[in-house]
A and B are shown apart, each in its own frame.
Chain A
Amino acid sequence: MKDPILRVVNLKKYFPLRRGFIETLLSRRRLYVRAVDGISFNVGEGKVFCLAGESGCGKTTTARLILRLIPPTDGKVYYKGVDIFSLKGKELKRVRQEMQMIFQDPYQSLNPRMRIFDIVNEPLDINRKDLSYEEKREIVYKALEDVRLDPEEVVDKFPHELSGGERQRVAIARALVLRPRVIVADEPVSMLDASIRVSILNLLMDLKEKYNLTMIYITHDLAQVRYLGDDMAVMYLGKIVEMGPVDEVLDRPVHPYTQALISNVPIPDPTLSRKKIVIRGEVPSPVNPPPGCRFHPRCPYAREICRREEPKILEIEKGHYVACHLYE
């Protein structure tokens, strides 16, 4: 990949575990939730990079780190070659304007006491003090049109007067007004009804094309990854287990976890029968993850080395990476 717009290098985030008073007295050892534990990937400009995985795998924490909403425990995130964690003041503010987020729940991400105009205008009020009211109004109206809402109709409304789909459109408009280069979308359609979902997915794709946006799309739904992703990474317990172009990974998955995950995705077609890979147990706790390969307690192919040594991430084909001892 030539000049990725975003480069994530060995990123880690450990959250200290809060424990009871007595427990703290009895043991000196601090415990951590290893939400993200050393992940690296590159995102090409204008691409949709999907982070996929089950709940608790660290995908949302990764998103928040990339936007510097939380500080990392270790590692770097480079945006256009600049380490975002080293930025301060004006520089930081500029980078922040270029990276925006769309959250999962449009019922919680919009302030219920603000009118739609003010919600969409707020980023401009904060970051673009150079603009006049008329200029800002024009940008807000344009953004609302971009997300296929009728500005005249919605600007004076409150969020509760809008449906879930309309609210998510407002959230997208708010993310667009500062002309960002990168959009991080965290499960943007998982709270929406099926008939609304596709229109939001199509809208995101159209906006991406129109403004040549780069998107980091976080989802547990591999069908959505297939629908809009260019590249993807599958996460398990804070680690990337497999990564590559979407069609390559979904058609020829090599990691036993990816294989199991894909085989268990329900397909809206009752005539398709396929073999589901049964794997034992459930995802272990990220406080005390298994040694060696984190998937080994559930892996049907686990060998001695998997219990001992953590697998390194290897490129098995051009652009297709896997972290598994089977391929070493």
Chain B
Amino acid sequence: MHLLEVDSLKTYYYTRKGIVKAVDGVNLHIDKREIVGVAGESGCGKTTLAMTIMRLLPPEARILSGKILFHGEDLLSKTEEEMREIRWGKISMIFQHSMNALNPVLTIERQMIDAIRAHDRKLTKAEAAVKARELFKMVGLDPDRIKGYQHEFSGGMRQRVMIAMALAADPELLIADEPTTGLDVITQSQILELLRRLKDELGLSIMIITHDLAVIAEVCDRVSIMYAGKVVEIADVVTLYKRPKHPYTYLLINAFPSIKSRRRRLEEIKGEPPRLVNPPPGCRFHPRCPYATEECRAKEPSLVEVEPGHYVACHYAHKLNFIMER
């Protein structure tokens, strides 16, 4: 049994401009002690997927169908009260830009204690303070600075505080939405190193949501690539970068300049990602795909396992073989 399994999940937003099919039949799973990347461009539905797992959706969003199995139990059939135990307790999340959302007039210690006691009311403040210091050490911060304020912490340190808070109730799964976006290169590299260490030391499972394929390559074990509300490819990280099967994956990886490789002209992906109010019929990537045929315009491909652990949603997955030059 997987730790978390998402099965044919659909989450739509009902807006005045129409129905936004943000997550439209998504499958993926995460095992214990594993870092899974969910990668895609803005508007592909990756954050909605995370918010659906956490059941933290705004009122205009509706989960139409599908299952989210956590230890085999469907989170979508839980009551709000049951969900509150799981949220932060079993599955916690670091939101995008949340490091900028610390309260500026309370000490970091006070905010940590609040977070810890929110899960465990039995703890006294003194006990919670001890735990806060332990968490500080765990994420590589100096416990002697815990009484400081937000403005005395740099961006990287604040992100460490957010990670410490997310770990307050010893969760099994951590969802991190763009955890390093906006951080400088060296700080980014240190935060990724921390996530990897937490996985090893605590046996934590981590889902990293990002638009940056270089970050995925640095830290993830497996990757799901999303495009326009769908998962188009899932594979372990080496397979995905060396032998991708979906044209979008291939083109996207090739669209990243690398500091290492010699300069050659990178291939462009024509067009832009579709709006999700009225996505193209058939395969959603077909208007931009150089290999698209009549079949792609008419019929939607399903996600099939082409080799053990490698899933692709493309009509031509068995024919297309991409070899990466890097």
Contacts and interface: CB of A to CB of B under 8 A. Distances in A.
Interface string B44-76: 000000000000000000000000000000000
B258 A269 contact: yes
A194 B256 contact: yes
A282 B187 contact: yes
A267 B260 contact: yes
B184 A54 contact: yes
A268 B256 contact: yes
B215 A266 contact: yes
A282 to B, nearest CB: 4
B41 A194 contact: yes
A306 to B, nearest CB: 19
Contacts of A165: 272
Interface magnitude class on chain B = 35 or more
Interface in B84-114: none
A227 B272 CA distance: 22
B188 to A, nearest CB: 7
A283 B238 contact: no
Contacts of A227: 257, 263, 266
A264 to B, nearest CB: 4
A208 interface: no
B251 A270 contact: no
Contact of A270 (B42, B237, B288): B237
Interface string B212-224: 1111111010000
Nearest to A194: B255
Contacts of A197: 255
A40 to B, nearest CB: 25
User: For chain A, what secondary structure do more than half of its interface residues adopt (helix, strand, loop), or is it mixed?
Assistant: helix
B251 A266 contact: no
A223 interface: yes
A252 interface: no
B42 A193 contact: yes
B276 to A, nearest CB: 14
A282 B251 CA distance: 35
A193 B217 contact: no
Contacts of A163: 272
Interface magnitude class on chain A = 35 or more
A202 interface: yes
B156 A250 contact: no
A220 B185 contact: yes
Nearest to B324: A269
Given A197-B255, A224-B257, A269-B241, A55 B215 contact: no
A279 B272 CA distance: 39
B271 to A, nearest CB: 8
A264 B259 CA distance: 11
Nearest to A200: B268
A266 B266 contact: no
Given A223-B257, A261-B185, A267 B217 contact: yes
A260 interface: yes
B241 A201 contact: no
B220 to A, nearest CB: 8
A270 B252 contact: no
B269 interface: yes
Contacts of B41: 193-195
**CB-based closest 10 A-B pairs:** A266-B214, A227-B257, A264-B189, A193-B41, A54-B184, A195-B269, A199-B268, A223-B257, A268-B214, A282-B154
Interface of B: 41-42, 154-157, 184-190, 192-193, 211-218, 220, 237-238, 241-242, 251-253, 255-261, 263, 265-269, 272-273, 288, 326
Interface of A: 54-55, 163, 165-166, 193-199, 201-202, 220, 222-228, 250, 260-262, 264-272, 276, 278-279, 282-283
Given A195-B288, A272-B260, A282-B157, 7 more contacts: A193-B41, A195-B269, A202-B265, A226-B257, A261-B185, A265-B185, A271-B242
7 contacts: A220-B184, A226-B257, A250-B259, A264-B188, A266-B192, A269-B217, A271-B241
